[in-house]
Amino acid sequence: MFKNNNKYFYSLLLIITIFSTNLYAKEKYPYLQGKILYQFEFDRVLSTKKRGVSPNNSFVYIEPDISLNINQNWAVKTQWRLQPNDVLTTRDRTNPERYRTFLSNDRGMNFDEMGLLIEELKIHFQNDDIKLFAGKFDPTFGTAHRKAKRIGVFTSQFTEDYNLREKIGGGAIALLENSQIQFNTFFNDNTSLSRSAINDRSKARRNDELAGNTGTISSYSLAMEGADLFGVKNLFYNFGFRSLGVDKNQNRKRENGYVVGAEYLHKIGKESSIIPFAEFVSLSNMSGIKGRKSQYSTLAMIGNYRNWNSSLSFVSRSIDKNSSFDRYTFDRQLQLSVGYKFTNNITVDVSRAEIREQAKKGSLLGLMVSYLYKF
């Protein structure tokens, strides 16, 4: 069990770190800086043929990013997450769909499962040409799951499936003129850092047979992000490859994956723009299970006018069955969203979505309220 004094230690450490930021001046080293993202999500099922579904669902998510800058080049970077342990999981090999909020039987407004976890804790070096880091971190793979994209309330709840999270290892990023290339090597975190405070999600098991959980530096990823592709101004892109090692087993095989994404910022006048966005992901031997394949597609048209944001998006998720996995998944969501960003870094997004998940259909209305505090 997770001892109570460890619970209080992690909680106290987070509180001290946040409130001590005012004690340091950014003109002198060392100093603390960062940002904290607060999110509240609420959604309601307007209609569904599935029985026993609670109509309302909500949860709170808090993400502090805190950096201790030692000097001009060196820093200790951390990311914390306060989230419901029962909403988002990365440890289910059989059911890799990470969010459990759509049309499920455990919907509700239960905040008793909130857990505080250390998402990243790494030593970081940077100069004009390169970034180097080592510790616990999230390797880069795809961008559609990033919260800053604001493609409606529900999009990231599909695309989060392929987000690489909570790895132990290191990486290097080459900083080029309009792009950057990142290489990471790692294994899944199964140290004491994989626990959570407040509510203990327990330490990750070394023998859970998930891809990447080898205990050795046998997994890696390569990603490239940039702008002005082929000389086209405001054409942004991302490419990535991942290869996650597995322990030797007759039904286990290394997971490989590819991602290709692009978006184009088309300005219409001084205060408005349109952004077509697309991202495609293909994974083979998903979760390390031999023969299981999955594909993800995200298509969106985003419009911006002053502080207003609107989008129409379509996301699909296909996970094949194989000899040891007898369930074929073809999920999809069609979503229309409208949002507004206030001058004090508060954003409000409202989405109407038609969702198909595990052969069940439903109409949902979602609300996301976010606040970004920088220091």
CATH fold group of domain 4-374: Porin (2.40.160)
Query: Over the stretch 82-106, which tens digit does the pLDDT of each residue have?
Result: 988 776 667 666 666 666 556 666 6
Q: How many CA atoms lie within 13 A of 261 on its CB side?
A: 30
- Average pLDDT over all residues of the chain: 88
Q: How far is CA 339 from CA 127, 193, 344, 353, 369, in A?
A: 37, 36, 15, 15, 10
Confidence of residue 157 (pLDDT cuts 50, 70, 90): confident
pLDDT in tens, 245-295: 998 876 789 999 999 999 999 999 899 999 999 999 999 998 888 888 999
Domains of the chain by residue range: 4-374
**Percentage of the chain lying above the pLDDT 90 cut:** 62
Cα separation, 312 vs 41, in Å, equals 19
CA 326 to chain CA centroid, Å, is 27
The proportion of the chain whose per-residue pLDDT surpasses 70, expressed as a percent, equals 85
Residue 9: what pLDDT? 47
Residue 353 pLDDT more than 70?
Answer: yes
Please tell me the distance from the alpha carbon of residue 84 to that of residue 233, in angstroms, as a whole number.
Answer: 41
